[in-house]
Structure 1
Amino acid sequence: MSNRASLLDDSTRLMRDFMTYAVLFQDAVARAAGLTASDLQALGLLINEGPTSTGTLASRTGISAGGGITQLVDRLESAGFVRRERSATDRRRVLVAPVVDEVQRRVGPLYARIASEWETYLSTLSDDDLRVCVDFMAAAVEINRRHVEDSA
């Protein structure tokens, strides 16, 4: 096997492992925060993308519009992680908005140790190596996002 083929095989295996352990870590964080994995993923989307309708949140998470997404939002609202608010442009429309300070206060510390380890590792990289990592992760996010949307 050529060096490139070997590297491609390694990258495939490592990406699979990375995604598996990322999901398992997120599950552990969700449990520690008293949330479900779906709750935590929805919070992540709301924090990254801002307030959105329950219908949009349902389609982005793959949770059925109506009962399923309403229960998720109800749980997050009861826990103080989100609030429902009227759209500034269409007062008939209700948006789900993250309470970022509360999420950071209660969930942020659960990421502290892993964030510290990543910070330590990334500090060992040159700017050029770090640029390659950033480009790779940006491409991975975009590819995964596109495939999530295509699967919905």
Structure 2
Amino acid sequence: MSTESPRAALAAALYDEERAGATGAVLYHAAVAAHLKINITDVSCVGVLDKEGPMTAGRLAQRVGVSRGGPVTAMIDRLESAGFLRRRRDPVDRRRVLIELVREDAYQRLQRSLGGLTGRYTELIGGYTEDELRLLLDFSRRTNEILHEQTTALQADR
């Protein structure tokens, strides 16, 4: 017989589900990458550019966790060859080069690959009230803040 309180049991179950979700997200992104014949870091790169817009190679390297220089250049070259992105001069400072997402052929294939998840996710969200969505959004934002904080701490400890 468990001596754990109902609240503690719920908190533990929630933590376990969050861990399972994190693993599931990694596996899903790996499957998408394999389907598109790119790697999982490339999928992250496209996702960052999709959400945040054009940025320098150095900023992109920081956002996806790859080393500056050769590794980020190789990733950009790979994705440029595959049609996902392009380099362009910064209109404000012509010495800088920005990396931007190309929202055509390759990107459209990626969107079709994500379509099943997007549809199911939208359907799931539709079943929640506005108050429940506010709570879930608050939880997700706080979780993401903790993840960012802990990731930064681990990176600084290297």
Instruction: Give RMSD over aligned pairs.
Output: 1.5
Aligned residues: 152
3-state secondary structure, aligned to 1:107? helix
- Other-structure match for 1:67: 70
Larger Rg: 2
- Other-structure match for 1:148: 151
Alignment of 1:1-150 (within 5 A): 1-150=4-153
3-state secondary structure, aligned to 1:84? strand
Structure 1: 5+ residue stretches without partners? none
Structure 2: 5+ residue stretches without partners? none
- For 1:68, give the aligned amino acid: P
CA contact 2:53–2:101 (8 Å) conserved in 1: yes
RCO (CA 8 Å, sep 6+): is it higher in 1 or 2?
A: 1
- For 2:10, give the aligned amino acid: L
**1:30: how far off?**
1.0
3-state secondary structure, aligned to 1:95? strand
What percent of counterpart residues are identical? 35
CA contact 1:60–1:149 (8 Å) conserved in 2: no
- For 1:4, give the aligned amino acid: R
3-state secondary structure, aligned to 1:140? helix
Whole-Å separation in 2 of the counterparts to 1:147 and 1:24: 21
- For 1:61, give the aligned amino acid: V
State the TM-score, normalized to the length of structure 2: 0.89
3-state secondary structure, aligned to 2:145? helix
- For 1:146, give the aligned amino acid: E
